[in-house]
């Protein structure tokens, strides 16, 4: 026979745990910092290559992407820097993707209702 789950039992994820909150804050800080730095770097590279049209296009592109949040901006800017301009190795886009996945996981964890 199947055991019924008691609502008062210990749950696997306590969302108010300080470590999860601190981990989320550190991840979000790194994403915000990376998004700002790589976006300006990508706009700089576009300006060097294409002049004023590259600058305007970079600003328009970054402003459209930032509507989805800082993690997609970080991923798109780091991918542009690494793959189009070959200024960094694979570590920058891979780091941005990993941080975005962690941020998504923490967001989903915090949106999940607790069994109380």
Give per-residue pLDDT as tens, 10-69: 454 455 567 777 888 899 999 999 999 999 999 999 999 999 999 999 999 999 999 999
Predicted pLDDT of residue 18: 73
- Is 1's pLDDT higher than 60? no
34 vs 44: CA distance, rounded Å: 15
Predicted pLDDT of residue 39: 97
User: Whole-angstrom distance between the N-terminal and C-terminal Cα of the chain?
Assistant: 24
Predicted pLDDT of residue 98: 97
Predicted pLDDT of residue 3: 58
57 vs 51: CA distance, rounded Å: 10
- Model pTM score: 0.79
Q: Are 60 and 67 in contact (CB under 8 A)?
A: no
């Amino acid at each position: 026979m199947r055991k019924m789950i008691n609502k008062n039992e210990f749950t696997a994820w306590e969302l108010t745990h300080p470590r999860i909150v601190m981990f989320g804050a550190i991840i979000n800080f790194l994403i915000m910092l990376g998004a700002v730095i790589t976006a300006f770097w990508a706009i700089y590279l576009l300006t060097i290559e294409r002049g004023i049209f590259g600058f305007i296009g970079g600003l328009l592109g970054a402003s459209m992407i930032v509507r989805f949040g800082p993690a997609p901006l970080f991923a798109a800017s780091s991918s542009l820097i690494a793959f189009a301009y070959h200024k960094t190795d694979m570590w920058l886009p891979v780091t941005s993707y990993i941080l975005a996945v962690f941020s998504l996981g923490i967001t989903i964890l915090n949106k999940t209702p607790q069994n109380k």
